[in-house]
Each structure stands twice: as C-alpha cells, then as structure tokens.
Structure 1
C-alpha cells in the first residue's frame, strides 16, 4: 500500500468507523434473540444428554460447599500448632469448589475449551493440597506466606507501573515491608530462586543438584510426581494449549471438524473434561479432608465421613460420563 492509498484509507476509517460501529450495535441487538435461542437449545441438549452426570456434579458441588463451611469455621475457631494446616487446606478446598463450579458453568454453556483451562487450575490445586497435607504445619504456613508475598509483589508492581490499583499506596507499603520479612524468613541459602518465584513454597522439598550445592528449582512436573498425580501429565500438556491459547490450543478450540469452525458454544466434548474433573476432585478432597486434623478426633471423624461421601459422588460422576460415547456434535441441536 502506497502512502497515498494509506492516507485515503485512514480518511475512510475516520469517516465511516463510528457509523459502522453503530450499525453493528443495531444488528447485534436483532441477532441476540436468535443466538440466545440457539445457545439455550445447546445448553438444554448438554444438560439432558448427560442428566445423571450433572446430578452427580451438583452433588459434589453441594458437598464441597457444605464441607468447606465446616472447614473454614473449624479453622477460625481452633488456634493451636496445627492451625496453619487447617487454614491452608480450607482455602484450597474453597478455591477448588469455585473452580469446579466454573467448569460446570462453562461446559453446560458449550464452552468446553474454557472448561479445559479451568481443569488445569483444579489439577494444580489438587497437587498443592496433597503436598501440603503430607508436610507439617510449618510448611503449610510457608505455603500461606508465599501466597501473601506473591500477591503483594504483583500489587506493588502494578501500582508502580500505573499509579493505581485495588490497594492504596499506604497499605501497599505495609504489605511490602511484611512481605520482605517473610521472604527473608523463608529464603533458603541453597535455593536456586527467590522465595516469591513460582512454586517457591515447595523449594525445601526439592533434591540437590548434581553438584550437591543447590536445590533443583521447584517445577510443577516435579510437584506432580511428589503428589503421585503425574499420570495426568499428558492431559496437563494438552490443557496448556487452552490455558495459554498457543497454536495447538487455537486449532483445537476453533476447528470443530474439517468443515466446521466454532465461533460460539458447541454441544461436543463435555465428558472429556468432566471425567478428569471428577477424578481430580477425588484426589483433592482426600487431601483437604483427611489432612485437616492432626489426630483422629471427633471433627476428623465427621469431616472424614463427609469427604468419603463426596469422593463417592465424584466416582459415580466420572462413571456416569463414561457409560457410552457422546454423539458427534452434528447430532446435537441445530
């Protein structure tokens, strides 16, 4: 394009862009009713096609919500040496409950690619819960402190770059000072990274390098192996494409078939996400519930029974989505 052609095009854009945008708004209002009706049919199809599976999904959500309330209340009421463990596991359980509901919402609406990304988050929560539950309460405190330090660093960086943020500057300075103390407390001399770096909370669990002078860096695949959750590594690698929208993720999300592109919700693939989600929740619930108390007291008995029941629901749910193969997307609503 020559300079003259470019100048003409820019004048066209300046003259026509605003009225064209208003036309798009008008047309989108007219199209909204049609698209809403189609989306409702897709959601109805997904809901009815896997009705028993969604019943178990709702059961797991309800169970983790009720259990979460008990865990959080217990963590608030009891103050002893085991308190950091209760707080960490209660928070992880609550976060998992939220993510599990996000997966359900996305799948029912026909957005399986987004649900895959949220499963990746659920998997990380499960790995973290298992590792934290296997350690002592001081390690759980390290996990909690790492969260405070990392979030403070992110808030400070954003405020420094943009002069604004959800936390006022005075409060940020207090947080920054506290975060610095925590970083100094937890930073190991033989750790290869800073405490605030990714998975810095897990650094003391890493083996020494070949030279024997430094710990190897904590990475998620190493944490998966420690938690005995590395059998889902191939699923994690596939999910990364949807989390980061790399080239493979884009192709998988958009090309529904050789002749069909997805530009909106689709009725296909819910069982490919729900089954791993159910099984991941089973692992997470086992860790958060059974690792919550230091001894087999009355609360441990109650929460253990609740956890076992939720795990049973999750197992039933995984089986419900595996009874037979889902029809091809073409056989769904039109």
Structure 2
C-alpha cells in the first residue's frame, strides 16, 4: 500500500494558521485533526481490499521462490514432523488402554506435550516457508521448553502427575489476574459457578503439590526429579535447572538467542537470521527473507526428536528402540540438508 503522503504535509497545509495554533485549545486541535484524518482513513479503507490481493500475490510468489530454493530441507522437515505425528499416534493407540487401566499420568502428560510440540513445529514450518526465520527461531523457544519438560517427566513419573495438577493452579492464578483487569478491558467477570470450580480444583491440587507451591515458580512440579538429583528443597527450580537435570543445558546459548527475538531489541541488527551475512551495514528487516532457515529448522527438529523419544519412554519395546534410531538418523539428514543449503546462500 502506498500511503500517498509525505510526512510534514499536514503541518505545511496549516502553516497559515501557525500563529493561531499556538493558542488553540486542545478541543479545537482535536476537531481539526479528526476532520483531516477522516478522509485519509476512508481512502486507506477503500483501498485495503485491492492492496490485500496484491500482497497475497507477492507473498505467494515469494513462497514459491523460497520453497524452490530450500526444497530439500523443507521437504525433509515436513516429513520429519509427519513421521513424529504418525509414530506417536500409533504408539498411543497401542498403549492407551493399558495406560488408562494403570492411571499412568506420565503417559498422559507426555502425549499432551508431544501434541503441543507438533503444533509448534508446524507453526515454525509456516514461518520459515513464509520467509520469517527470526520469528521461527523465536517460536523454537517453546519447542525447547517442551523438550526439556518432556525429558524431565520421562525421568520421573511423579513429576508427570504434578505437572498435570499444576494446570489447576495456573487456571486459578489466571482467573485472579483477569479479575483485576476485566473492568478496564470491558469484559464480563467470571461467573460464580466457574470461580468456585477453579478454586476447588486449585485447592485439591495444592493438597498434593503443597500449599506454598504457587510461590515456588512454574517448574516446581518437577520437585521429585530435583530431589532425586540432590537439589535442596529450598532451591527454586528454573528452566535452566531442568535443562541441567535432563542434559539439554548445552542448548542454553540458542535459547538465550531465541529469547532475544521475543523482546524489544537493543541491538542495531536484531534481525540477524533473515539478513545476509555479507551485509556490511545494519539492516532493519521488516518483511520476508530467504536467508537464515538453518537454525530454526535444525533446532526444531532436534527438540521434536527429544520430545518424541521422551514420549515413547513409558512403554518401551523393540519398536520404540528401532524408531528412536530412525528419528535420530532422520534428524541428522534434515540438519545436513539445511547446512548444505545455507552454504549455497
């Protein structure tokens, strides 16, 4: 969309009124501003549909070029996600009756986390396909946390049970936050019935988690695993603590890097994945790019590997051992294809 406007035009148009504007009331200035804004807004609204159709075509054309350029890596990435889905779907079907009879909370928690990992992987895939490598890397941050939590639960059945219970504490806390702001948001409050349900479930969960659970942070559900590894009860469990416990702390530099892409940047060239490494001067990337897809794809595949193998752990068999090898070797192939493509860029 061409806004058809040069900044300062309005001020120049009102130059003759400059002396009057010095003493003009805020009400009069607001009236003048609205009268000038109304036709401009109408023009932009009227041209929105035309602009959108052109933008759709531009994005379609770019995605074709981007897809052709990264074809092998993109196709392997897609197949890897699909294999992870189909494998766990079959594993779940084969074991869900036994899990239900045994009330296996570990199995339930891991299936739940794996489903979320698949969703995030598809979101990451959509972002790299559309040319947003930095957004994809930011989304990987969730994939990493899912992998860490999955491995923690795979190592501790009790932690899996506590993980599921923690939902009720989060729901109650979310309700309290909503209560504080619903009037300013012009939203309806929780009904008394829903409030009572949330509070009852929270109270029941805290009977097992401990009354002081809400003060100890989001990862206190993993206390059984932490205790098993000699971490004192008074020490707060962070994501970094869990990373160390499950052997994924060496991804902390990538996690920190991904976190930067979720926050207001202080770096000049914050979009450093989607810009070419040959650029000699800083760029402010505001759109799609065919650069930088190696890291988000590679990291996402590895995290999905960790989550999937953890998900298969409650009911081990020869099948799971074989597919662990398949997934691991497949992940290596995806990584190598991305590295090869990155070198060509």
Q: 1:323 aligned to 2:343?
A: no
Tell me the equivalent position of 2:16. Answer: none
Among residues 67, 74, 82, which one is paired with 1:62 in the alignment? 82
**Please, which runs of 5 or more residues in structure 1 have no aligned partner?**
329-334
* Cα pair distance change 1:6/1:268, threshold 3 Å: farther
Q: Give the 5 Å matches for 1:47-196.
A: 47-74=67-94, 76-78=96-98, 79-81=100-102, 83-135=104-156, 137-159=157-179, 161-162=181-182, 164=187, 168-187=191-210, 194=215
Tell me the equivalent position of 2:311. Answer: 288
Q: Give the TM-score, by structure 1 length.
A: 0.82
Residue by residue, what CA displacement relative to the aligned partner does 1:124-151 show, whole Å, maximum 9, x if unpaired?
000001111011x222100111123213
Q: Are 1:60 and 1:314, in contact at CA under 8 Å, matched by a contact in 2?
A: yes
Tell me the equivalent position of 1:310. Answer: 327
Tell me the equivalent position of 1:21. Answer: 41
Residue by residue, what CA displacement relative to the aligned partner does 1:81-100 show, whole Å, maximum 9, x if unpaired?
46111101111111111100
Among residues 251, 254, 258, which one is paired with 1:235 in the alignment? 254
**Alpha-carbon distance in 2 for matches of 1:71, 1:214:** 36
Which stretch has the larger CA shift, 74-83 or 93-102?
74-83
Residue by residue, what CA displacement relative to the aligned partner does 1:120-176 show, whole Å, maximum 9, x if unpaired?
0000000001111011x2221001111232133213532563275797541331122
Q: Note the aligned Cα RMSD (angstroms).
A: 3.1
**Alpha-carbon distance in 1 for matches of 2:196, 2:181:** 15
**Please, which runs of 5 or more residues in structure 2 have no aligned partner?**
1-20
Q: CA deviation at 1:288?
A: 1.4
**Alpha-carbon distance in 2 for matches of 1:230, 1:178:** 34
Tell me the equivalent position of 1:332. Answer: none
Q: CA deviation at 1:327?
A: 5.3
Report how many residues are paired: 315
Among residues 279, 296, 299, which one is paired with 1:273 in the alignment? 296
**Alpha-carbon distance in 2 for matches of 1:301, 1:245:** 48
Tell me the equivalent position of 2:12. Answer: none
Which stretch has the larger CA shift, 68-77 or 114-123?
68-77
Q: 1:46 aligned to 2:63?
A: no
> What secondary structure, in the 3-state scheme, does the structure 2 residue paired with 1:217 have?
coil
Tell me the equivalent position of 2:53. Answer: 33
Q: Are 1:158 and 1:165, in contact at CA under 8 Å, matched by a contact in 2?
A: no
* Cα pair distance change 1:204/1:102, threshold 3 Å: same
* Cα pair distance change 1:2/1:144, threshold 3 Å: farther
Residue by residue, what CA displacement relative to the aligned partner does 1:14-66 show, whole Å, maximum 9, x if unpaired?
21223211211233333333322322222112211121111211111211221
